[in-house]
Amino acid sequence: MTRRADVERLRDAAIAKFGRVDVWINNAGRGITRSVIDLTDADLDEMMAVNVKSALYGMQSIVPHFIERGSGHLINVSSMLSRVPFAAYRSAYNAAKAALNALTANLRVDLSARYPGIHVSLVIPGLVTTEFARNAVGGSPPLPPAAAREAQTPEQVAERIAALIEHPVAEIYTNPEHHDRALRYFQDVGAFERETTRR
């Protein structure tokens, strides 16, 4: 997914087999365990390539097809860490997903007036019980018990995405509690961060 030509080949193969694409989901991602101060150029470049550029290639590949058809649904999968810095050790991943949020919002605004049949959605999961943490560059520290307790299964996240496809909206948090938590964060960033670091 980090090679534009490969993403375009995937699009072409799907259209050749099925005649059209109704929904395109960009869900490539990889984490890293590095504080901001320890990031190298290579660390940041890899996080941007996997978490942002792969989605950009997907968007640029499929949206012209949606425009030609007058309909379609693009879904980008982000992370709760793009909104709230619960895991500062994931700094470059968090920054990359925040960049993905911005690209998604800008694309949605660009398309909304002229192409009302095209939906652009952002999915914001929290912790999901996959191999993501184990495969992060630099490994992963142990999770606090509270974080582990609210983890969702991939099936639970998939159910939320399926519901989003049925009823498109601009964005969803796959864990409904995270919506309120993100709102509290932005209402008083300093207070939220002080409270979080005391735990």
pLDDT per residue over 44-79, tens digit each? 999 999 999 999 999 999 999 999 999 999 999 999
- The amino acid present at 181, given as its one-letter code, is R
CB 35 within 8 Å of CB 43: no
CB 80 within 8 Å of CB 173: yes
Identify the pLDDT of residue 103: 98
Return the biggest CA–CA distance within the chain.
55
Alpha carbons 54 and 182: distance in angstroms, whole number:
26
Helix or strand or coil: residue 173? strand
Please give the C-alpha separations between residue 197 and each of 141, 186, 190, in angstroms, as whole numbers.
Answer: 16, 16, 11
pLDDT exceeds 70 at position 144 = no
Identify the pLDDT of residue 23: 98
Q: What is the mean pLDDT of residues 185-191?
A: 92
CB 133 within 8 Å of CB 140: yes
Residue 128 has what DSSP assignment?
A: B
CB 144 within 8 Å of CB 171: no
Identify the pLDDT of residue 199: 59
pLDDT exceeds 90 at position 175 = yes
pLDDT exceeds 80 at position 148 = no
In order of their start, the domains of the chain are 4-198 (3.40.50.720)
Average pLDDT for the chain: 93
Min mean pLDDT across 17-26, 120-129, 147-156, 184-193 is at 147-156
Token pair in block for residue 46: 């890899």
Pairing of strands 23-26, 72-77: parallel
130, with CB counted inside 10 A (0-12, 13-18, 19+), is middle
Q: Catalytic site residue 93?
A: yes
4, with CB counted inside 10 A (0-12, 13-18, 19+), is middle
CB 33 within 8 Å of CB 136: yes
Min mean pLDDT across 33-37, 76-80, 139-143 is at 139-143
pLDDT exceeds 90 at position 143 = no
Catalytic residue among 93, 115, 173, 185: 93
Q: Which residue has the higher pLDDT, 129 or 34?
A: 34
pLDDT per residue over 11-34, tens digit each? 999 999 999 999 999 999 999 999
Task: For the chain, count helices (H), then strands (E).
Answer: 8, 4
